[in-house]
């Protein structure tokens, strides 16, 4: 069974993933990774991941929260989300159209570039002992470089050698950013460490093998204690979090073109299709079949 999971993982094995986020509320065009939310103004629900995310805002206003701190983002602004920082976003109710790009950078792949100092740069970031500032003033010279490189990536995205231009820009962004600064209290503490360890456990195991029992055991905690601790740090019960994580994997598989829904269910970590179906509807607001139609319709546009 293992190889199936590995295969899905490999597909995402890219240094940089660019997502174009368009919210056209007038014509009801929302991104395919944005299934109907309870609140239509939510453009990115509360979540966290190992990748570094750069957000670059083109049109409209978005209010992003990183680690609880709100940032009002207007065209031309960018935001840096460090690994494992919980973040969420809502579009401003005054805006009919909101457009921004999310650049997700895989630090573990970045570390493999043939550059001597990269582990020195990214290890503190991954362990949470250091972080980049979330934003830089409009006049900051580093901010100008970052903006220019993000524009360069977008300008070359359709060219034959797009990936080479992307690596070039990513390297220049990190060269300009320099060393991350030592995180203030909160980073690298036991609390942040718990969050990190949970995410890494979930990401590095076959989703079908991840359970409350297994993860509690891996922490040497009893189930009740782990449950309380998890809810305290993540704001949601462990099972809810895990199901959302698995359903998001299913979304990615469907968006990637897989139309065999029972295979999607299995690959994303569900042993029973009926349970997958129920959870899919709960998380996405639509059934797997409706999501397929939704994606197909968007693709034709």
- Minimal CA–CA distance to 142: which of 176, 179, 178? 176
Report how far residue 219's alpha carbon sits from residue 262's, in angstroms, rounded to the nearest whole number.
32
Alpha carbon separation from 289 to 6, 29, 103 (Å, rounded): 25, 19, 29
Stretch near a copy of itself under the rule CB under 8 A, chosen from 68-76, 85-93, 155-163, 251-259: 155-163
Q: How far is the CB of 255 from a copy of itself (least distance, A)?
A: 19
Q: How far is the CB of 12 from a copy of itself (least distance, A)?
A: 12
Q: How far is the CB of 108 from a copy of itself (least distance, A)?
A: 10
Q: Which of 72, 74, 159, 204 binds a copy of itself (CB under 8 A)?
A: 159
Report whether 54 contacts 87 (CB < 8 A).
Answer: no
Report whether 276 contacts 265 (CB < 8 A).
Answer: yes
Report whether 197 contacts 204 (CB < 8 A).
Answer: no
Residue closer to a copy of itself, measured from CB, 178 or 235: 178
When asked if residue 115 is in the footprint of a copy of itself (CB under 8 A), the reply is yes
Cβ count within 10 A of residue 17: 13
Report whether 216 contacts 223 (CB < 8 A).
Answer: yes
Report how far residue 85's alpha carbon sits from residue 55's, in angstroms, rounded to the nearest whole number.
14
Q: How far is the CB of 168 from a copy of itself (least distance, A)?
A: 4
Contacts with a copy of itself, 166-195, as mask; x by CB under 8 A: -xxx-xx-xx--x-----------------
Report whether 250 contacts 295 (CB < 8 A).
Answer: no
Q: How far is the CB of 203 from a copy of itself (least distance, A)?
A: 19
Residue closer to a copy of itself, measured from CB, 47 or 172: 172
Stretch near a copy of itself under the rule CB under 8 A, chosen from 37-45, 72-80, 107-115, 231-239: 107-115
Q: In 3-state terms, what secondary structure has residue 37?
A: coil
When asked if residue 113 is in the footprint of a copy of itself (CB under 8 A), the reply is yes
Residue closer to a copy of itself, measured from CB, 80 or 242: 80
Report how far residue 256's alpha carbon sits from residue 11's, in angstroms, rounded to the nearest whole number.
9
Q: Which of 25, 33, 71, 165 binds a copy of itself (CB under 8 A)?
A: 165
When asked if residue 142 is in the footprint of a copy of itself (CB under 8 A), the reply is no
When asked if residue 155 is in the footprint of a copy of itself (CB under 8 A), the reply is no
When asked if residue 148 is in the footprint of a copy of itself (CB under 8 A), the reply is no
Report how far residue 196's alpha carbon sits from residue 116's, in angstroms, rounded to the nearest whole number.
26
Calculate helix-pair angle for 273-284, 238-255, nearest 10 degrees: 90
Interface with a copy of itself (CB under 8 A): 13-15, 109, 112-117, 156, 159-161, 163-165, 167-169, 171-172, 174-175, 178
């Amino acid at each position: 069974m293992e190889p199936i999971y590995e295969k899905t993982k490999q597909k995402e094995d890219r240094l940089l993933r660019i997502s174009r986020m368009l919210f056209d509320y007038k014509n009801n065009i929302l991104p395919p990774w944005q299934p109907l939310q309870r609140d239509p103004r939510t453009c990115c629900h509360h979540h966290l991941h190992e990748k570094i995310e750069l957000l670059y805002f083109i049109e409209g206003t978005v209010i992003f929260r990183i680690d609880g701190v709100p940032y009002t983002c207007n065209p031309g602004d960018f935001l840096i989300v460090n690994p494992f920082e919980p973040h969420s976003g809502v579009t401003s109710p005054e805006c009919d159209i909101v457009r921004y790009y999310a650049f997700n950078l895989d630090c573990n792949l970045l570390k493999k570039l043939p550059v001597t100092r990269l582990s020195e740069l990214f290890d503190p970031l991954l362990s949470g002992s250091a972080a980049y500032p979330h934003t830089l003033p409009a006049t900051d010279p580093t901010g100008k470089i970052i903006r220019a490189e993000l524009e360069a990536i977008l300008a070359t995205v359709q060219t034959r050698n797009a990936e080479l231009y992307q690596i070039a820009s990513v390297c220049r962004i990190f060269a300009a950013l320099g060393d991350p600064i030592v995180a203030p209290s909160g980073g690298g503490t036991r609390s942040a460490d718990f969050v990190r360890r949970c995410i890494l456990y979930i990401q590095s195991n076959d989703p079908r093998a991840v359970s409350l029992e297994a993860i509690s055991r891996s922490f040497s905690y009893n189930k009740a204690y782990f449950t309380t601790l998890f809810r305290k740090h993540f704001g949601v019960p462990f099972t809810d979090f895990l199901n959302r994580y698995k359903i998001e994997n299913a979304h990615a598989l469907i968006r990637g073109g897989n139309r065999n829904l029972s295979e999607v269910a299995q690959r994303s970590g569900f042993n029973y299709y009926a349970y997958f179906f129920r959870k899919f509807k709960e998380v996405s607001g639509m059934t797997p079949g409706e999501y397929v139609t939704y994606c197909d319709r968007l693709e034709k546009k």
